[in-house]
Amino acid sequence: MIKLGVMCSGRGSDLQSIIDAIADGKLEAQIALVLTDKPNVMALERAERAGIKNLCVDRKLCADQLSFEAKLLNELRAAEVDLVILAGFMRILSPTFVRAYKDRIMNIHPSLLPAFPGAHAHRDVLEYGVKVSGCTVHFVDEGTDSGPIIMQAAVPVLEGDDEESLAARVLEQEHIIYPAAIRLYVEGRLNIKGRKVCIV
């Protein structure tokens, strides 16, 4: 059974969609560990409620990025994690971390990449005035939101949308495609060829 390590920073609704997919028998994997970079966030409660090992590596209590990531890596290795899942994890990981789990880190981003990378996708989408947005699951490479794309879903941007209403519409799709993309990985159906991910 593939062991997942899910890393979050806040609410954890994407984490919940993975917990639910496993519970419903739609995803054959085990969440070995949930890690957060902040204390007292809802993601920790969700993990606790589901009986999943969880802990916070508080970035603010770490001297620097190197020691923060060393702690994360220690925990992931101790839990024998095969695939790292970034689920609303709002920190950029260094090339050292990415290399440690090369081609074994997935992220979900709330826009149709390569459009609107970064921490404020919905705000940027609304400011730009595009009519379609969505979400992207991709492998993490050493850039920001730039790795090979696994799956995307589109939603309309509606007249009168604000960040909250757009985020809610996009989240519905996130909760469908993230478990589905992880399932493809678990089934060994994702082949990375340069920038492209072939689904076999």
Residues that bind ligand GAR (CB under 6 A): 8, 10-15, 87-88, 108-110, 119, 171, 174
CA angle 145, 65, 138 (to 5 degrees): 20
Let me know: does 129 contact 91? Beta carbons within 8 Å.
Answer: no
* Beta carbon nearer to ligand GAR, 78 or 154: 154
Pairing type for strands 196-199 and 190-193 reads antiparallel
Nearest approach in angstroms of CB 200 to ligand GAR is 26
Q: Which residues are catalytic?
A: 109
Determine the Cα–Cα distance for residues 193 and 53; give it in Å rounded to an integer.
34
Put residue 26 in one of left, alpha, beta given phi > 0 → left and psi -120 to 50 → alpha.
alpha
Strands 105-109, 83-86: parallel, antiparallel or unpaired by DSSP? parallel
Shortest Cβ contact with ligand GAR: which residue?
88
CB 110 → ligand GAR: shortest distance, Å?
4
Nearest to ligand GAR of 79, 85 (CB atom): 85
Strand ranges for the chain from DSSP E: 2-8, 29-36, 54-56, 83-86, 105-109, 132-139, 149-156, 190-193, 196-199
Closest CB 57 distance from ligand GAR, rounded Å: 17
CB of 188 to ligand GAR, least distance (A): 25
